[in-house]
Amino acid sequence: MKRVVITGAGTVNALADTVAGTFAAFREGRCGIAEIDVRDKERLGIRIGGQVRGWNESAHFNRQQIALYDRFTQFTLHAAREAIRQSGIDFSDALGLASGVVLGTAGGGVTTWDENYRAVYEEGKNRVHPFVVPRLMNNAAASHVSMEWNLRGPSFTVATACASSNHAMGLAFQMVRSGAATAMVTGGSESMLCFGGIKAWEGLRVMSRTACRPFSANRDGMVQGEGAAVFVFEDYDHARARGAPMLAEVVGFAMTSDAGDIVMPSAQGAERAITGALRDGRLNADDVGYINAHGTGTAANDKTECAAVAHAFGHHADRLMISSTKSMHGHLIGGTGAVELLACLMALTEGVIAPTIGYEEPDPECALDVVPNTAREARVDAVLSNAFAFGGLNAVIALRRI
């Protein structure tokens, strides 16, 4: 079995369009959630979100690229550029044959669906642009990354709702660990902040109209975000031989299914994923200093997640820190695990724990150290990142300081 290290990271999200900018926002406990600006917003009941503001597509891509890139693909390519630049990895020769890209997204090109349904249904048009299909397909982002960087090995897209990115990164980790690939570009992206994308979530009646306040007794729901984060996962020996930057080691991954309910989470399913990731990573419970929570800010998730963590860690649950950065960047749905892995990297590389902002009232059912409102300096050696999706699909990743 190979050791797997992260040699590059990149992002764009509501807080910043770089990793450094995102870390700065995490440190400050800055909120990226605000009133959204989308077409027909006056017909929306939910009008806040973690929107990427001032995104200027023509600053990043040429005309032909823009014709083919949905917003979720644009976010992905932007994040991948930063990650691959930092990694310094060059896939142009044989390495490209042994490397691939696995990305998560729940909705793919939702904006493209939305705009073109509007054209044919609302505006009565009988003709759509020829690139509608290649723009909206869920694997568009992964395919464009493969083309841009000559990644000719295992490449595909994972859709497991809110756990998509964690599943994608877990699979990328397994491929490098097993030797099936030398390096994998991985992470995820989502861009669902358009009229139809928000309206669909409104229907479920789990959205907050005010703020995302995970673990706080007065929490009243989730807030959508958008963006992407992309990483380079690489064989340790390969990274070492070329003198690559090593941000952290990926040591464990586990996925479980609740086989229970299509929307309600299960503490047992979550706990099995947590303990599975520890076992896979050969970590003891008390090795873990920080957990990036799924922490959606819904009544159901947060108490279920705290129960799962309490069961999985026993007494150590009271000593570890757990925070939800969704309070700052919103819930990126299929891209969320990728952006949240950044908080894990910040904990390991900079010794700063990102806070759960918007925290106002303790909830006895969430009685863990949720790092309320203010970032904290702490040296941690191992961390987990949780993702628990609608449909009962759970995926937990374990990282270690290198």
Partner 1 sequence: MHEGCGGCGGIVMADSVRDRVIAIIAEQAVLDVADVKPEMSLEDLGIDSLGLVESIFAIEEAFDISVPYNANEPGKSDFDISSVDAIVRAVEALVAAKAA
Total residues belonging to the chain: 402
Nearest-Å Rg of the Cα atoms of the chain is 20
Q: Which of residues 127, 205, 315, 379 is near partner 1 by CB under 8 A? A: 127
Q: Which of residues 17, 82, 114, 115 is near partner 1 by CB under 8 A? A: 115
Q: What SS3 class is residue 387?
A: strand
> Which residues in the 211-240 window bind partner 1 by CB under 8 A?
none
**321-323/288-292 β-pairing:** parallel
Residue 96 contacts by C-beta under 8 Å, 6 or more apart in sequence?
Answer: 149, 150, 151, 152, 153
Q: Could you tell me the CA-to-CA distances from 296 to 149, 153, 219, 325, 326 in Å, in that order?
A: 34, 34, 10, 9, 7
In the chain, the amino acid numbered 351 is: G
- Is position 315 annotated as part of the catalytic site? no
- Spot the catalytic one: 144, 167, 238, 331: 331
Q: Which of residues 20, 53, 67, 240 is near partner 1 by CB under 8 A? A: 67
**393-400/382-389 β-pairing:** antiparallel
Nearer to partner 1, 40 or 361 (CB): 40
Site string for partner 1, 128-167 (x = CB under 8 A): xxxxx-----------------------------------
Q: Which helix (H) or strand (E) holds 377?
A: strand 376-377
300 interacts with partner 1 by CB under 8 A: no
56 interacts with partner 1 by CB under 8 A: no
Q: Could you tell me the CA-to-CA distances from 220 to 48, 207, 226, 322 in Å, in that order?
A: 13, 7, 20, 20
Nearer to partner 1, 112 or 292 (CB): 112
63 interacts with partner 1 by CB under 8 A: yes
Record the tokens describing residue 91, joined without a space.
Answer: 């896939």
Nearer to partner 1, 131 or 156 (CB): 131
Residue 130 C-beta: closest distance to partner 1, Å: 4
- Is position 162 annotated as part of the catalytic site? yes
Residue 132 C-beta: closest distance to partner 1, Å: 7
- Is position 78 annotated as part of the catalytic site? no
Residues of this chain that interact with partner 1 (CB under 8 A) are 63-64, 66-67, 115-116, 119, 127-132
Known catalytic residues?
162, 294, 331
